[in-house]
């Protein structure tokens, strides 16, 4: 069994990499390659430290939902992380360049996000059905997630990315949402361009078959961890295509059918 000291050492390693913006060695030497409870304990350590600094939890993100991203990361299952208030750079949709001052090795991906109108906290796990999570959604909105890794060269195994808050960085969401009565998330088509050149493409069905199925998966995990999804939470449901690198000064645009294009620029 992994010791608390190993968890603390992994938290310290990742936190230092974030603070210095110098990538660190993977943490699987400390926590192993298949001990998910310990990996999530490291994630919680990082999140709690940031909460102590005054930020708040605003939602969750689901990672590695598409086969394309799983191949990129060398993993075979999804994971989840926390969205914190200081990760929101949606000011970018209004034309203000997005700061890269906190990023280490960023990549960008496009996805469908959900804002919840109700808690997903039933009496039993068996009640967390697709119909239940659909009914809990207020609106769906387009999103760009700027994923990041504190681990050098993205040399990560599954426990590494889980520990590193599911390789979270920043996120951008659009200004206008759509209710699920109006469209089906699994039917969307996505194209992501950088400086006008298409760099990634995919569909809603690439996200665990349906972004709503990804939301159901997350709701089950959150219930099991004793930290259920709450009304008002923003949920990034997972990439619709491969994530891609970008550079300072780049202009990134995501077109997801049913929504206005989502375009941002990054600071030089």
**Cα 134 to chain center, whole Å?**
20
Residue 236 to residue 113: CA distance in whole angstroms: 4
Of 50, 39, 41, 190, whose CA–CA distance to 108 is shortest? Answer: 190
pLDDT (0 to 100) of residue 78: 85
Residue 46 to residue 10: CA distance in whole angstroms: 9
pTM, two decimals, is 0.93
Tens-place pLDDT, residues 104-155: 999 999 999 999 999 999 999 999 999 999 999 999 999 999 999 999 999 9
- Residue 235 sits at φ, ψ, to 5 deg, of -120, 120
Task: Please list, residue by residue across 28-55, b when 16 or more beta carbons sit within 10 angstroms of its beta carbon and e when fewer do.
Answer: bebbbeebeebbbbbbbbbbeebeeeee
Give every CB contact of residue 124 below 8 A, 6+ residues apart in sequence: none
Q: Which domains does the chain have, with CATH numbers?
A: 4-265 (3.90.850.10)
Angstrom CA distances, 32 to 57, 90, 98, stand at 28, 36, 36
DSSP annotation of 23 reads: -
pLDDT (0 to 100) of residue 61: 96
Return the number of other C-beta atoms located less than 10 Å from residue 104's C-beta: 18
What is the pLDDT averaged over residues 27-32? Answer: 96
**Cα 113 to chain center, whole Å?**
10
- Percent of the chain past pLDDT 70, that is, above it, reads 95
Please check the confidence at residue 196 and state whether its pLDDT lies above 80. yes
Q: What is the DSSP string of 41-87?
A: HHHHHHHHHHHHTT--EEEEEEES-SHHHHHHHT-SS-EEEEEEGGG
What is the pLDDT averaged over residues 46-64? Answer: 94
Cβ burial, residue 79 (10 Å; 0-12/13-18/19+):
buried
The pLDDT-based confidence of 68 (bands split at 50, 70, 90) is low
- Percent of the chain past pLDDT 90, that is, above it, reads 88
Angstrom CA distances, 76 to 39, 93, 148, 155, 205, stand at 16, 33, 19, 15, 17
Of 199, 14, 207, whose CA–CA distance to 108 is shortest? Answer: 199
Of 28, 136, 46, whose CA–CA distance to 82 is shortest? Answer: 46
The pLDDT-based confidence of 248 (bands split at 50, 70, 90) is very high
């Amino acid at each position: 069994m992994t010791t608390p000291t190993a968890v603390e050492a992994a938290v310290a390693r990742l936190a230092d990499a974030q603070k210095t913006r110098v990538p660190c060695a993977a943490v699987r030497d400390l926590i192993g390659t298949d001990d998910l409870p310990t990996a999530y304990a490291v994630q919680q350590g990082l999140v709690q430290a940031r909460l102590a600094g005054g930020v708040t939890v605003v939602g969750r993100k689901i990672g590695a939902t598409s086969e394309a991203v799983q191949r990129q990361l060398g993993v075979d299952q999804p994971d989840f992380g926390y969205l914190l208030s200081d990760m929101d750079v949606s000011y970018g949709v209004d034309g203000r360049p997005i700061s890269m001052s906190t990023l280490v090795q960023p990549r960008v991906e496009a996805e469908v996000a959900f804002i919840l109108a109700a808690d997903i906290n039933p009496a039993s796990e068996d009640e967390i059905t697709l119909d239940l999570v659909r009914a809990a959604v207020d609106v769906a909105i387009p999103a760009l997630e700027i994923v990041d890794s504190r681990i050098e060269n993205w040399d990560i195994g599954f426990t590494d990315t889980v520990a590193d808050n599911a390789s979270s960085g920043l996120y951008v969401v659009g200004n206008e949402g759509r209710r699920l009565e109006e469209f089906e998330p699994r039917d969307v088509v996505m194209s992501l361009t950088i400086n006008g050149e298409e760099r990634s493409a995919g569909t809603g069905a690439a996200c665990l078959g349906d972004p709503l199925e990804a939301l159901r998966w997350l709701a089950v995990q959150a219930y099991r961890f004793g930290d259920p999804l709450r009304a008002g939470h923003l949920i990034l449901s997972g990439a619709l295509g491969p994530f891609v690198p970008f550079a300072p000064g780049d202009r990134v645009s995501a077109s997801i059918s049913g929504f206005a294009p989502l375009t941002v620029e990054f600071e030089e």
